[in-house]
Amino acid sequence: MKLLIKPNLDKDGAADCARNICHLVQEYGMTPIMEEDLSPFFSDVEGVVFGPPGEVYRICNICVAIGGDGTILHAAKCMMPFVRPVLGINLGRLGFLATLEPDQLSLLSRLKTGEYQQENRMLLEVLYTAANGRKRRFLALNDAVVAKTEMAKIVDIRVQCGDRLVGNYRADGVILAAPTGTTAYALSAGGPIVDPNIDAITMTPICPHSLFSRSILFSGESVIQISPAAKGQQLFVTIDGDEGVPFQDGDLLTVQKSSVRIPLINLTGNQFYEVLNNKLLRRAYE
């Protein structure tokens, strides 16, 4: 079994954690592999195989991402074309996508024995169609965000479900979230938390200019369309807080459930509501 070790070296302790994992997994009969640009940092670790990104993504059985939720999101995007499972080691704050803490690395032995759960998370398929007909397609594990680019300005955004008008929203923007993303930006904007086992798309306005603009939960079979509702607005579409494109007059964003799912590995056996309690509810009383 080959494990792709993918640390975020900007995180304190990530390099040491990666070294510990490389030593441990070899004791457990697994081979650690890394992208070749990490060789200068880990060439002193015996037994690590380095290779080009595309090659190590293809040959790995599991990706172990070390960092915060952003690190795990990035690793998941790298693994999407190859449908490889991702295991997150938390070095961030909440680390909602991570199921393992640095003091639980001994549980990595379960990867070899198969004593773990695999959660196949729903992805959003996001199709951006420019006014000139140019198209770009994205996959999102967390969310697609349409937001303003100018400070102190409210924008008008039209939301449809299929051929039905949902509403025209005056707000700072809107968030279209997959279930996994409902504990991220959408939660901060006042959206609901959705169990990741439920296929659904959540639409949450960002700072809406109305007391009656609330989140809407659409079924997983819905096709949501977003477009500018006024001319001359400066908008931008961001996918999982990373990839993005300007969103202008005549552009259209179509969001629906993807046929692709990303597998996340759970070594501890803790279920969603236990994680929710540990990472969010308990902290409210600290």
Q: Are residues 177 and 253 in contact, defined by beta-carbon separation less than 8 angstroms?
A: no
Catalytic pick from 69, 143, 172, 251? 69
Going across the sheet that includes 173-177, the strands are 216-219, 200-206, 173-177, 143-148, 235-239, 243-247
Give dist(CA 43, CA 198) in Å, integer: 43
**169-208 CB burial, b ≥16 within 10 A, e <16:** bbbbbbbbbbbbbbbbbbbebebeebebeeebbbbbbbeb
Picking from 259, 142, 147, the residue whose alpha carbon sits closest to that of residue 201 is 142
Is 69 part of the annotated catalytic residue set? yes
Give dist(CA 201, CA 199) in Å, integer: 7
Catalytic annotation, residues: 69
